[in-house]
Structure formats: structure tokens, C-alpha cells
A and B are shown apart, each in its own frame.
Chain A
Amino acid sequence: MAGLSIQGARKSFGTTEVLKGVSIDVADGEFTVIVGPSGCGKSTLLRAVAGLEELTGGSIVIGDRDVTSLPPSERGIAMVFQSYALYPHLTVRENMAFGLKIAKAAKSEIDDAVRRAAEILNIEALLDRKPAALSGGQRQRVAIGRAIVRQPQIFLFDEPLSNLDADLRVRMRYEFASLHRQLGTTTLYVTHDQVEAMTLADRIIVLRDGRIEQVGTPRELYERPANIFVAQFLGTPRMNILPATIGTDGRGALEDGRSIALPPLAAALGAGTPLSIGIRPEDIAIGNAPDALPFTIRFIERLGGLATLHLGGREGDEPIACQLRDDGNLDEGDTVLASLPPAHLHLFGADGQALRTVGE
């Protein structure tokens, strides 16, 4: 096992710069998830670590070896692809043994490694089948098995759950987490799914347009997003952003003419300063309170235990999402009192960067 250090990684395809100087340090044994919208360069970064893409600039160090110009097989990595990329004409056993066979390992060593990996993944019964005879989840397990057999210093996962149905994805997520606990191998995991990122990661790296937006634990990123992009990328429903200005009374004046109390840090801002106020849907409190404002329920999404209310102040305004336990008493068209507690507000400047987040 080893840590991973990427410094100033740049990659261009023709005139398009996909990675614009990305630097990442992954500690030994850490599960790091790179997350971002499609086209942000996350897969390119992973493929560069694997050696499948050559960097235009920057360096990659695994353990204490600079692997920037080494071929994929000499980097001490194993990769699991979105499409599983199993060899269709080989059995599960042969698929898992392929790398060791190429390396001309002894037969007994290969058999041992395959058996151990199969035990870990619970696929001993599938060893003599061909990939075509396996379900999606089983194929994914074989792909992971093939990676385990290589005994890599670093696991690379490229959106490994994207091809699975929702139910299986949840189960495999759990298996990834327990597998990582069991093996303790340094892992770099790419996904566009923020739920995967939040549930699996020790640390999340949010990437946008080839640049890192923020790095931190899932909790840090959720509670103290560095900017509006990160704030809205993590969490479903996403964080509400309300454009406002600081009023002469120090309160936040919303676009619909109403105002709300702001956390103390807003006191440093002069009247008339434009800002964006962010609040997570679950932080909005419904019910009578001193600072509560009336809103009309435009739409309700009922999820069984929870409901998401889409509240509108004025006609035409972006509705505010509010999540609460569904007691079935509310209906579309009702007017409710909702308060936005200052302690839960996130303030962002005109440039979209967090002014300073709650609790500081």
C-alpha cells in the first residue's frame, strides 16, 4: 500500500484543456472520491493516474516512486471500469488470473490469489462461468476480483456503479465500503453521483472544469461548502440559494421585498452589499416562529416518510425546497409559515465564494 500525490496535473486534448493544474494528495489507505459533473475532467485524471492518458504537465507519485512516465502495468495500480471490461472469451477464473499469467507467476501462486479474491467477494461458485452468464452485479464483483488479484498499491474505480440498477447500486456501495475496510488499500474513486461520494469517501474532491473546487471530508463539504457550486452539488434536494442584499437594518433583503435575519458575520457587510443566502432544505423550519414568513406550497413531492415542499413567495420566483417528515396534513396551495434560522444560513459573496460558513 502507498499514498498518492498528484502535482500540477495538466492535460489537453488538442486545444481543449481538460485538466488545468490539479494537485491532490491521497494518504495511505484513504478512500478518496473525485466527484463532479460530466466533462469536469475526473475520469481523465483517473486515467492519467492509471497511465492510460499521458499528462501534458505535472507529476504523479505513488508511494515514493515517480510513475509519471511509467506504463500502466508498472504503476502498482488496478482499475475497475464502468463497463467492467471483462474478457468475454475467458472464464471468471481466467479473467482474474490474466494479469498474473502475463507476469508468468507460478500456477500455485495464481490459484491461491484467485481463490483468496473469490472468497473475499463471495464468487467462488462463479469461477468457471463466462462473463456472459453473469448478472451485472456479479460482473462488477469479478472486475473487482481481477483488481484484487493484482494486489495493487492503489485501487482506481471509474464510475463502477453507473451501469447497475438503483437497488444493486445501494448494495454494492455497502460492499465497496466493507471491502475497503477489509483490505485497507488506498482508493481513488470517480463518480458523478454525490450520494456515492458522500457515503463512501473518507475525503471528497469536487472537480469542475478541470479545477478543484474543494477538498474535505463529506461532512466538511456538506456543512461548510467553499462556494455555491459545491453547496449545490452535494445534497438532494440541493441547497436553496436566495439572492439578497444587506438592508439598512442589517437584515437580508430578499428580492420579493421581504427580509430575514442573518448570522452575525453579516454585520461586517455594509448596507447594499449583494450576496446569496444559502439554506439546505432540511434546515427550513415550518411553523409559527418570530421571524417566520408565509409561503404558498406550489408542489409537494411525497417520498413516503419524507416530503419535499416547493414553496413559492411570489409568482415566477424560483421555488424554495423544504424537506420535512410527511404527516400528510399539508396540501398544494396551502400557505405555511416557514422560518430560515440564521444559524443554518450559508452566505456567499457576489463571486459565489462562501463569506464564512455557519458555526464559525
Chain B
Amino acid sequence: MSLRRWSVTLFAALVALVTIAPLLWMVSVSFMVRGEAAQFPPPLWPANPTLENYRLLFGTFGVGRFLLNSVLISTLATGLALLFTIPAGYAFAKLRFKGRDAIFRMLVAALVVPGQVGMLPLFLELKAMGLVNSYAGALVPWLAGIFGIFLVRQYCLSIPDEMLEAARIDGASEGQILRRIVLPILTPIIVTLAVYVFLSSWNDFMWPLIILADQDLVTLPVALAVNSRQNVQDYEIMMAGAVVTTLPVLILFLALQRYYLSGLLTGSVKG
């Protein structure tokens, strides 16, 4: 390897280390005894590793319930988002209907409006529908994201019309074409979208905070924020909470990153 390549590799390794160090320390602190992390200088590794923080978290603070809420909401959000977004993106790319391009342009234009701007009107709407303080209310914003529709549409544009026409000649209905031809081809983008929606809804703080008032319904990030206010000195418990919040999505992402990356790259690589 040349010197140039060595230096690039070294630089990349340093950046990776700086990025991952807080995560590693988070895990490390979560196994420390109370007060250990507050010493100066802070220790890198726990002197006597303990599961006490996790026991406290799941026992006294009832984090299991919040974890379940988060899993439920994120899973449902992902499923529902895929259910609505994929057919919509496909239709915008491949089906001919009146006003198709005008509607799509309008949707894309709406992308520039920050999500926070829509939160109050959305809240009032859901309040009128009686969905405030319910899982349903927490799920509504995820149903059909414009970004997802855009992503699916762009990918669908690369599917040749002739392939769909061949399926039509073969006697497939529009539903069968979507299920048996388009969906398998869309796999990389579906995985990408699923990971994206799951991560976003899992990490979402603002909307669950607004819409979910009942303590039994709140998600992990919200619960953790409340918890951190109560235990502001207890780094170890907070870090254990952070691990519980981060680890599931981290594992999901690592497991699917092969598809995720190929999905993100498709637009530029595919002709």
C-alpha cells in the first residue's frame, strides 16, 4: 500500500473511532456501579461490571413497557408506511391517470414545509377525530411520507414499461403485476424505506411527546427524557436507558445495511 493510501486509511479509522467512542463508552458506563462515571478522570471500563442499572431500569422504572410501546409503534409505522407508500410511488411512476404529474409536483413542493409546522394543525385534526392519546394518533404521520413516495417513484421509473406490458399480456392484473413483478424488483428500496421509517419513528421524540399523554403509552425516547430529568445525576442509569434505546435499531441497521446501502446507491448506479 502506498503512503497515500495508508494516510487515508488512518484518517478514516480516526474518524470512525471518534464517532464510535461515545457509543462504546455509553455501553461501558451502563455496566458501572452508581457514581463511578462521575469520577475524574472518568474511567473507560467498569471496575466491577454490574447489571444493576438494567435491573433498576426494567424493574423500578418499568422501561419494558416503554420498549414495547416503541417496538409496537415503530413496527406498525413501518408496515403502514410501506403499505401506502409503495403503491403510491408505483402509481406515480407507472400508471397513467389524470393529474398524475400535477399531484406529484404538489407533493414534492410540500416537502419543503418543515414537519414541525404541520404538527399543530395535525394535532387539532386528530383531536377532532378523537385520536389524541392513542397509538393510532401516534401512527398517523407515518402513513404515507412524501419522501418515501418520492423514493419508490424514482426507483420504479427505472423498471422498463415493456416488462409490465409483458406481464399484462401474460394476463396479470395490476395488483398481480405489483405483487409478483414490481415488489421483488423493489426489494432494495423497500428495505431502505423500512429501515428509514423504523429508525425515524423509533427515534421520534416530538410527535409522541405531543400526542401521547398517558404514561402507559409513551415511547422510549420520551420516557428516557422524563427519566433523565428525574435522575439527572445518575449517568449509569441514563446510559443503560440509552443502550436500551439505541441497541435495537443499531442491530436492525447493521443486519440490513447491505440492502440499505444498495438501495441508496441504486439511483446513481442503475442506468
Nearest CB to that of A89 among chain B residues?
B184
**Partner among A81, A89, A99, A102 whose Cβ is within 8 Å of the Cβ of B185:** A89
Given the known interface contacts A99-B170, A102-B171, A102-B172, the answer about A52 and B165 at a Cβ–Cβ threshold of 8 Å is yes
Are A82 and B170 in touch, CB under 8 angstroms? no
Given the known interface contacts A87-B181, A89-B184, A102-B176, the answer about A73 and B162 at a Cβ–Cβ threshold of 8 Å is no
**Partner among B163, B169, B185 whose Cβ is within 8 Å of the Cβ of A78:** B169
Interface residues of B in 140-180 (CB under 8 A from A): 160, 162-163, 165-172, 176, 180
Nearest CB to that of B164 among chain A residues?
A85
User: Which residues of B lie under 8 Å from residue A79 when comparing CB positions?
Assistant: 165-166, 169
Interface residues of A in 62-81 (CB under 8 A from B): 71-73, 77-79, 81
**Partner among A72, A87, A88, A103 whose Cβ is within 8 Å of the Cβ of B169:** A72
Are A71 and B162 in touch, CB under 8 angstroms? no
User: Which residues of A lie under 8 Å from residue B170 when comparing CB positions?
Assistant: 73, 98-99, 102, 146, 150
The answer for the CA separation of A181 and B165 in the assembled complex, in Å, is: 27
Q: A83 on the interface (CB 8 Å rule)? A: yes
The answer for the CA separation of A289 and B26 in the assembled complex, in Å, is: 102
The answer for the CA separation of A79 and B170 in the assembled complex, in Å, is: 9
Q: A321 on the interface (CB 8 Å rule)? A: no
* A333 nearest CB across to chain B (Å): 48
Are A99 and B181 in touch, CB under 8 angstroms? no
Are B163 and A87 in touch, CB under 8 angstroms? yes
**Partner among B163, B169, B184, B185 whose Cβ is within 8 Å of the Cβ of A73:** B169
User: Which residues of B lie under 8 Å from residue A81 when comparing CB positions?
Assistant: 162, 165-166
Q: A50 on the interface (CB 8 Å rule)? A: yes
Chain B: interface size category = 10 to 19
Instruction: Give the secondary structure class of B's interface.
Output: helix
Are A85 and B165 in touch, CB under 8 angstroms? yes
* B13 nearest CB across to chain A (Å): 36
The answer for the CA separation of A345 and B197 in the assembled complex, in Å, is: 74
Q: How many residues from A make CB contacts under 8 Å with B?
A: 23
User: Which residues of A lie under 8 Å from residue B172 when comparing CB positions?
Assistant: 73, 98, 102
User: Which residues of A lie under 8 Å from residue B185 when comparing CB positions?
Assistant: 88-89
The answer for the CA separation of A77 and B169 in the assembled complex, in Å, is: 8
The answer for the CA separation of A72 and B180 in the assembled complex, in Å, is: 18
User: Which residues of A lie under 8 Å from residue B163 when comparing CB positions?
Assistant: 83, 85-87
Are A85 and B171 in touch, CB under 8 angstroms? no
User: Which residues of B lie under 8 Å from residue A88 when comparing CB positions?
Assistant: 185
User: Which residues of A lie under 8 Å from residue B169 when comparing CB positions?
Assistant: 50-52, 72-73, 77-79, 99
Are B184 and A85 in touch, CB under 8 angstroms? no
* A91 nearest CB across to chain B (Å): 12
Nearest CB to that of A150 among chain B residues?
B170
The answer for the CA separation of A88 and B270 in the assembled complex, in Å, is: 14
The answer for the CA separation of A88 and B167 in the assembled complex, in Å, is: 12
The answer for the CA separation of A150 and B166 in the assembled complex, in Å, is: 12
Are B160 and A85 in touch, CB under 8 angstroms? yes
User: Which residues of B lie under 8 Å from residue A71 when comparing CB positions?
Assistant: 168
Give the interface of A toward B (CB within 8 A).
50-52, 71-73, 77-79, 81-83, 85-89, 98-99, 102-103, 146, 150
23 contacting pairs across A/B (C-beta < 8 A): A50-B165, A52-B165, A71-B168, A72-B165, A72-B169, A73-B171, A77-B169, A79-B169, A81-B166, A82-B162, A83-B160, A85-B162, A86-B166, A87-B167, A88-B185, A98-B167, A98-B172, A102-B171, A102-B172, A102-B176, A103-B171, A146-B166, A150-B170
List 17 other contacts, CB 8 Å, given A83-B160, A87-B181. Answer: A71-B168, A72-B168, A73-B168, A73-B171, A77-B169, A79-B165, A83-B162, A85-B160, A85-B162, A85-B166, A87-B167, A89-B184, A98-B170, A99-B169, A99-B171, A146-B170, A150-B170
Give the interface of B toward A (CB within 8 A).
160, 162-163, 165-172, 176, 180-181, 184-185
10 smallest CB-CB distances across A and B, nearest first, come from: A73-B171, A99-B170, A85-B162, A89-B184, A85-B166, A81-B162, A72-B169, A85-B163, A102-B171, A102-B172
